[in-house]
Amino acid sequence: MAYVVKRSVTIRGHRTSFSLEQPFFDDLAGIAATRRVSLAALVAEVDASRPREANLSSALRVFVLHQAKAGAT
């Protein structure tokens, strides 16, 4: 069973936090490494593009899911 872990990052000069299950976090970190960007930069990218009504944790999960689907095709 995957447990949710809360993490904090600084994006655009302010601290923010998100909660993800470990498999989602591992994939998010892997995407950042593949793109050769910091985790905070990738989180900032997702944060900037998410709908305002979506919370950051959900937006990150959807981003990872989309990346996984794109890689599977």
Number of folded domains that form the chain: 1
Task: Note the pLDDT tens digit of each residue in 11-40.
Answer: 989 999 999 999 999 999 999 999 999 999
Report the 10 Å Cβ neighbour count for 64: 20
Q: How confident is the model at residue 72 (pLDDT cuts 50, 70, 90)?
A: low
pLDDT at 3: 86
Residues 15, 21, 23, 24: is their CA dihedral positive or negative? negative
Question: How many residues are given for the chain?
Answer: 73
Residues 6+ apart with CB under 8 A from 59: 46, 47, 49, 50, 51
* Per-chain mean pLDDT for the chain: 93
Contacts of 50 (CB under 8 A, 6+ apart): 56, 59
